[in-house]
Amino acid sequence: MNSSLCQGWVSHRRWAPRAHAFRYRLGMLYLDLAEQAEVFGLSRLLVGRWRCAPLCWREQDYLPAYTGQGLSLADAVRRVLREALGDAAPDGAIHLLTQPRSWGLSFNPVSFFLCFDRDGELAAVLCEVTNTPWLERHHYVLPMAQGKASDVRVAKAFHVSPFLPRDLEYRMRFLAEGPHLRIRMEDWRGEEKLFQADLWLQRQPLDAKALRRHLLAFPWMTLRTVTAIYWQALRLLLKRTPIFTHQAATAPLSVAHPPHEESRHAKP
């Protein structure tokens, strides 16, 4: 089975206009979209389509503009990739790194669709970003250089945090090697780095027993994520961090510049 449970850490650090940092443990699901029936048949009580289950899987929680019209999630991802990359869109496996709906609550600051070519190489990443409290969505398509690691750059096009401006550049780095998943996202304004987020995850085998252990370790993962967002926002307000006015995205999709070959062997 390619699908797995993931446990690890997420950390945020900002340098300007106020210094601030935190780190949390978290659990996520790494799902091969071709294995949905197998994965969600492990336990009807713990994982299923019951909306208020401890973990509930609903394809309509992702890319709702497409899945809400009856398109499967895998087909929706491929359609977005074709719109963004044309004939260069990969047509191999699609793996989703996300926090599934938990006890009826669905919210992901970002979900990553890792899209592989037919040779099993990571060829593109589709990031679905959601903000709060507006609950808007934006999608970034990031083509990858061949190799195990890749850096990409894309202009920020979507208002996420009210404590960061829009006129920034994202610099992202991905590493998927064996059981390890590493993702780094940096916000740059010119030559000044304002913010950095890191995700360090270890993939673990997925079976019914492992799933129960995962739920005991992270019983309210989605609620914890939302609570942490507002708690850190309060801390930033108490530090008198400036607030930037919310701006709606001008388009639902952004495409990164093709990565440079020299980024192949970069490490997060």
| Residue 267 belongs to a domain | no
Flag whether 264 is in a domain.
no
**CA-to-CA dists, residue 244 to 93, 162, 193, 231, 241, angstroms:** 39, 5, 18, 18, 10
State pTM to two decimals. Answer: 0.92
Residue 260 lies in a domain: no
Range of the domain at 37: 4-255
Q: What is the pLDDT of residue 186?
A: 96
Domain count, the chain: 1
The pLDDT value given to residue 53: 83
The reply to whether 261 falls in a domain is no
With respect to residue 262, please indicate whether it lies within any of the assigned structural domains.
no
Instruction: Give the C-alpha separation, 257 to 95, whole Å.
Output: 22
Q: To 5 degrees, how large is the angle CA 250–CA 196–CA 89?
A: 50
Contact in structure between 81 and 116 (CB atoms under 8 Å): no
Is the Cα dihedral 211, 214, 220, 221 positive or negative? negative
Residue 267: per-residue pLDDT: 43
Is residue 166 in some structural domain? yes
- Residue 127: inside a domain, yes or no? yes
Work out the burial of residue 213: count CB atoms within 10 Å of its CB; fewer than 13 is exposed, 13-18 middle, 19 or more buried.
Answer: middle
CB 256 within 8 A of CB 64: no
- pLDDT at position 54, please? 86
Low-confidence ranges of the chain (pLDDT < 70): 45-46, 48-49, 146-149, 258-268
Q: Is residue 39 assigned to a domain?
A: yes
